[in-house]
Amino acid sequence: MEKFDLMTLPYASEALEPIISRETIGFHHGKHLQAYVNNLNAAIAGTPFESKTLEEIVLTAEGGMLNNAGQILNHNLYFGQFMAPKEDNKPTGALAETINAQFGSFEQFQEDFVKKGVGLFGSGWVWLSAAEDGRLVITQEPNAANPIQKGLIPLLTFDVWEHAYYLDYQNRRPDHLKALWSIINWEEVASRYEK
């Protein structure tokens, strides 16, 4: 039996349209993420990593094993936790208060976050994370990196690899990132911050 499985989407493949099309989901989840899962299962077979969790592999592995595990962890959060077919949600509770205190307003936070995503050269992810003292940080992580490698708690991420948006937005990464705000599961993001 394979150790890691392709995660099941908690919504229909057309549920995030028009921001993320069924076609993009088909390639992104069905092909790209499946390939990372296959690659990782092949890489860990017969090694001590077979008994580790995804997070443990990301924190201890190197090379291709690290990259594939990182991509699975990142996509599981992105597809499974952070995206939802909801309209124009906003952060609530302690998260909303900290966003306002640190960034001035939710709109300013959105602008800063998108700017970091747009400014990330090449492939990677832009993240909102919490530091141990509760402070929020926006980081650019190249390729398959995850903020847990920096001791941060991941709260939200936008995938800025071209495979995430090219079919729907071609080269217009800024337009794609701005559009993502209307399909964010803020309930989940806010509850991760409360913990």
Region near Mn ion per CB under 5 A, out of 6-14, 82-90, 111-119, 153-161: 153-161
147 near 126, Cβ under 8 Å? Answer: no
Q: Is 161 in the site for Mn ion (CB under 5 A)?
A: yes
**Could you give the CA distance from residue 160 to residue 132 in angstroms, rounded to a whole number?**
26
Of 72 and 164, which CB lies nearer to Mn ion in the complex structure? 164
Of 24 and 139, which CB lies nearer to Mn ion in the complex structure? 24
Region near Mn ion per CB under 5 A, out of 92-100, 104-112, 122-130, 159-167: 159-167
Helix, strand, coil fractions of the chain, as percent rounded to 5: 55, 10, 30
Region near Mn ion per CB under 5 A, out of 47-55, 91-99, 123-131, 155-163: 155-163
CB-closest chain residue to Mn ion: 159
With CB under 5 A, what is the number of residues at the site for Mn ion? 3
Q: Is 188 in the site for Mn ion (CB under 5 A)?
A: no
Of 136 and 164, which CB lies nearer to Mn ion in the complex structure? 164
128, amino acid identity: L
Q: HSE of 169 in the Cβ direction (CA atoms, 13 Å)?
A: 20
Place of tokens 């069905």: 30
CB 176 to Mn ion: min, Å: 12
Which of 159, 177, 180, 183 touches Mn ion by CB under 5 A?
159
72, amino acid identity: I
**Residue 34 region, left (φ>0) first, then alpha (ψ -120 to 50), else beta?**
alpha
Q: Is 125 in the site for Mn ion (CB under 5 A)?
A: no
165 alpha-carbon distance from chain centroid:
14
Residues near Mn ion, by CB under 5 A: 159, 161, 164
